[in-house]
Amino acid sequence: MRFYTKQHKFYCGIDLHAKKMYLCILDETGEIKLHRNINTDPDVFLRAIQPFREDVVVAVECMFTWYWIADLCTKENIPFVLGHALYMKAIHGGKAKNDKIDSHKIAVLLRGGMIPQAYTYPQKMRATRDLLRRRNHLVRKRAELYTHIQNTRSQYNLPEPLGGISKPQNRRGIIERFEDISVQHMLAADLAVITAYDPIIEKMERDIIKMAKHHDPVVHALLNSVPGIGPILSLVILYEIENIKRFPSVQDFVSYCRLIKCAKESNGKKYGSSGKKIGNAHLKWAFSEAAVIFLKGNEQGKKYLDRLTAKHGKGKALSILAHKLGRAVYFMLKNKKPFDQDKFLGL
């Protein structure tokens, strides 16, 4: 956890919403200089903080509307702090809670050097990252439909498997294999939505490859050297990481990727794990996906997984492989070296 500890003359805490934002500005002694609810309008905001522009820092809690205020502060050379929503429990635990109180708490945390920082993702790469995330959302929705069709086959105990229905040519005749007319209509709806998703996702992937221009091409090439990480998955990982230098150690990186479980311990006693939702869910998905694809057509990789499975079980073995891939990617990007499978597998 990183805290913002720089000293300023004025500290501006903002409880930000879509249409309104509550400002609280404190001076260095903690006295409230401004406490006002205003519209989320750049000009109105700049006029409100104008008397304090000499040396002011602005902080907001990380939520979906932070892009514009971060970009505005960057443009106006105003220090900006993005508070980590899951760590900012101090503003959620009071007996009374409203926008005025929350903005004051944010300002107090900022002045005291106790505001936990989230990463302020740079503007130039942000739109492409969001497009990649939207593509992943649609891919997962389509995968849910694939799973529903396969589960329906198991539900009715059909003698023959349906095969790889991700390929359009393997979807022919699926509906007719079920006798119940209601089941046929249900699967027809699933297939119709899948058919609609296919060209949309394909076009998004082509557009992403064309528009992804603001990343380091060397890093992209290094990621593509890993078996199981293709052109799109490499861009997902690259745009979620942005810059590997922002992670001081490999432990920080794999923790951010949700590839490790953090122990929960007190007075020498362990109480399981915690912090499962803290980190980047998109990188967790990407490395889990890479671990599965890494094994396709990779005999050495399969043998390595078999050894892990014999010791830990299949589910945990895949998690270990994903964690190991995450560590490998960290050192690849840090040292600018391509993937070495023999070294990775300890051969």
User: Domain containing 82 — which CATH number?
Assistant: 3.30.420.40
**What does the pLDDT read at residue 1?**
76
At which of 145, 180, 214 does a domain end? 214
Average pLDDT in the 182-207 region? Answer: 96
Query: Are 246 and 334 in the same domain?
Result: yes
Q: How far apart, in whole angstroms, are the C-alpha atoms of residue 12 and residue 52?
A: 9
**What does the pLDDT read at residue 198?**
96
Query: Are 161 and 236 in the same domain?
Result: no
pLDDT band at 206 (very low <50, low <70, confident <90, very high): very high
Asked if the structure places residue 224 within a domain, the reply is yes
Pairing of strands 262-266, 269-274: antiparallel
| Mean pLDDT, the chain, integer | 92
**What does the pLDDT read at residue 159?**
85
Lowest-confidence range among 19-28, 140-149, 215-224, 254-263? 254-263
Domain count, the chain: 3
Range of the domain at 161: 124-214
Average pLDDT in the 113-126 region? Answer: 92
Q: How far apart, in whole angstroms, are the C-alpha atoms of residue 300 and residue 345?
A: 8
Asked if the structure places residue 148 within a domain, the reply is yes
181 vs 88 pLDDT, higher one: 181
Query: Are 224 and 341 in the same domain?
Result: yes
pLDDT band at 99 (very low <50, low <70, confident <90, very high): very high
Residue 101: closest CA among 146, 161, 37: 37
Q: pLDDT of 6-37, one tens digit each?
A: 999 999 999 999 999 999 999 999 999 999 99
**What does the pLDDT read at residue 272?**
65
207 vs 274 pLDDT, higher one: 207
pLDDT band at 242 (very low <50, low <70, confident <90, very high): very high
Query: Are 57 and 132 in the same domain?
Result: no
Asked if the structure places residue 159 within a domain, the reply is yes
Query: Are 206 and 282 in the same domain?
Result: no
The pLDDT of residue 271 is above 80: no
Asked if the structure places residue 228 within a domain, the reply is yes
pLDDT band at 213 (very low <50, low <70, confident <90, very high): confident
* Alpha helices (H) along 93-122: 99-111
**What does the pLDDT read at residue 82?**
96
pLDDT band at 96 (very low <50, low <70, confident <90, very high): confident
Query: Are 235 and 332 in the same domain?
Result: yes
Query: Are 194 and 250 in the same domain?
Result: no
pLDDT band at 274 (very low <50, low <70, confident <90, very high): low
Query: Are 334 and 223 in the same domain?
Result: yes
Helix crossing, 181-211 with 123-155: angle to 10°?
160
Query: Are 194 and 225 in the same domain?
Result: no
At which of 111, 132, 150 does a domain end? 111
Asked if the structure places residue 116 within a domain, the reply is no
Strands (E), 41-104: 56-61, 80-83
Residue 3: closest CA among 137, 111, 78: 111
Query: Are 103 and 142 in the same domain?
Result: no
The pLDDT of residue 85 is above 90: no
The pLDDT of residue 340 is above 90: yes
Query: Are 234 and 336 in the same domain?
Result: yes
Asked if the structure places residue 118 within a domain, the reply is no
217 membership: H or E segment, kind and range = helix 217-224
Is this structure's pTM higher than 0.85? yes
Please give the structure tokens belonging to residue 28. Answer: 């260095």
Please give the structure tokens belonging to residue 94. Answer: 């009071």
pLDDT band at 278 (very low <50, low <70, confident <90, very high): confident
Amino acid identity, position 104: H
Asked if the structure places residue 41 within a domain, the reply is yes
Query: What are the helix and strand counts (H, E) for the chain?
Result: 12, 7
Asked if the structure places residue 334 within a domain, the reply is yes
Query: Are 154 and 79 in the same domain?
Result: no
**What does the pLDDT read at residue 261?**
79
pLDDT band at 273 (very low <50, low <70, confident <90, very high): low
Spell out the SS3 assignment of 255-290: HHCCCCCEEEEECCEEEEEECCCCCCHHHHHHHHHH
Q: pLDDT of 145-171, one tens digit each?
A: 999 999 999 999 988 888 889 999 989
Average pLDDT in the 295-319 region? Answer: 92
At which of 165, 185, 214 does a domain end? 214
pLDDT above 90 as % of the chain: 80
